[in-house]
């Protein structure tokens, strides 16, 4: 009877990606098939979002499913890893690359733009060979685009749709969020069609990404665009036109980092998971406590440390 019970258990692997504005979840089976996914805004409360997300995942799990491993990535990975009892804590570059390679094995360039950060990952023969990140400025990220949509009193979905209708005749300064907004207002007051202004902003932000985050990088196809901003059709169009090559947006582009994390912990196949279950108590988790419970050590690789 016990042998039959063992055969009915379906091993599952959970990946969690918690960034500045959103928490992403992906549940994979032992073959790497996506079983469930979830995307939630954090509202500045990452642990609350993770608790909510874990509770929402439970009804979507298949009968007999059992979590055998958990990996966490994203800017809040240490805090969240401690709260959930992660078996693995990985950086975003690795997880985004693994997630992209899983769906597009020949990918050579990954563009990932989230709520407040953006990155480019250069892959050759299945290995990450270079990457670039934005520094302080959030121009071109999801939060900035959301702000502009709100300023224009439209949803981000309408903003995206209208960017597809615009021509390339309006040039917007995109090197700074303040200048970009001021330039948009100036162009609107000058009588430029709003659709052209919106698409002009998308083009400006893409040019800024290519000249800053991607500076010095050799961008070769296939190119995969990931992160929440990949939902914006205007940004996809602008990247396609600026690069002169096809841009692939995966159906699960918002949770690719979580998928990569789940794939990595599935490959590691922990003998016994430390996962605390789908109900977590964040009360015992404090600053400087990474997964595993030991106080975190400061990085000594940076001269600013």
Q: pLDDT at position 7, please?
A: 60
Q: Do domains 7-94+256-284 and 105-249 have the same CATH topology?
A: yes
Residues above pLDDT 70, as percent of the chain? 86
Q: Does the pLDDT value for residue 243 go beyond 80? A: yes
- Measured at the CA of 217, the angle between CA 175 and CA 243, to 5 degrees, comes to 70
Residues above pLDDT 90, as percent of the chain? 72
Position 168 confidence tier, pLDDT thresholds 50, 70, 90: confident
Least confident of 103-107, 128-132, 206-210, 292-296: 292-296
How is the chain split into domains, by residue range? 7-94+256-284, 105-249
Report cis status (omega within 30 of 0) of the bond before 222. yes
Q: How many residues does the chain have?
A: 305
CATH of domain 105-249: 3.30.420.40
Tracing tokens 């570059």 back to the chain, one arrives at 93
Position 180 confidence tier, pLDDT thresholds 50, 70, 90: confident
Cβ-based neighbours of 286, under 8 Å, separated by 6 or more = none
Rounded mean pLDDT of 143-171?
Answer: 91
Q: Does the pLDDT value for residue 302 go beyond 70? A: no
Residue-wise pLDDT for 105-153, tens only, equals 999 999 999 888 899 999 999 999 999 998 666 666 888 888 899 999 9
| Cβ atoms within 10 Å of 88's Cβ, excluding its own | 24
Mean pLDDT of the chain: 88
Rounded mean pLDDT of 243-249?
Answer: 97
Say if domain 7-94+256-284 classifies as CATH 3.30.420.40.
Answer: yes
Q: pLDDT at position 179, please?
A: 77
The values of phi and psi at residue 131, to 5°, are -160, 165
300 against 40, higher pLDDT: 40
Q: pLDDT at position 20, please?
A: 85
């Amino acid at each position: 009877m016990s042998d039959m019970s063992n055969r009915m258990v379906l091993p599952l692997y959970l990946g969690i990606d918690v960034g500045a504005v959103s928490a992403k979840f992906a549940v994979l089976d032992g073959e790497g098939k996506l079983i469930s996914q979830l995307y939630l805004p954090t509202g500045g409360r990452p642990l609350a979002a993770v608790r909510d997300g874990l509770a929402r995942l439970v009804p979507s799990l298949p009968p007999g499913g059992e979590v055998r491993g958990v990996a966490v990535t994203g800017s809040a990975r240490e805090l969240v890893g401690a709260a959930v009892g992660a078996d693995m804590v990985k950086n975003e570059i690795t997880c985004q690359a693994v997630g992209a390679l899983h769906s597009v094995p020949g990918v050579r360039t990954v563009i990932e733009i989230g709520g407040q950060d953006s990155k480019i990952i250069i892959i050759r023969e299945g290995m990450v060979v270079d990457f670039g990140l934005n520094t302080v400025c959030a121009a071109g990220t999801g939060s900035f685009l959301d702000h502009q949509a709100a300023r224009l009193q439209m949803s981000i979905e309408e903003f995206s749709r209208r960017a597809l209708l615009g021509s390339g005749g309006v040039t917007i300064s995109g090197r700074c969020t303040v200048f970009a907004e001021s330039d948009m207002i100036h162009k609107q007051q000058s009588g430029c069609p709003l659709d052209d202004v919106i698409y002009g902003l998308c083009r400006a932000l893409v040019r800024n990404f290519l000249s800053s985050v991607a500076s010095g990088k050799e961008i070769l196809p296939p190119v995969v665009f990931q992160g929440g901003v990949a939902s914006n059709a205007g940004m996809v169009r602008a990247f396609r036109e600026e690069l002169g090559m096809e841009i692939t947006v995966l159906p699960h582009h918002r949770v690719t980092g979580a998928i990569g994390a789940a794939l990595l912990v599935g490959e590691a196949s922990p003998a016994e998971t430390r996962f605390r279950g789908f109900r977590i108590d964040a009360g015992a988790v404090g600053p400087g406590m990474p997964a595993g419970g030991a106080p975190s050590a400061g990085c000594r690789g940076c001269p600013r440390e």
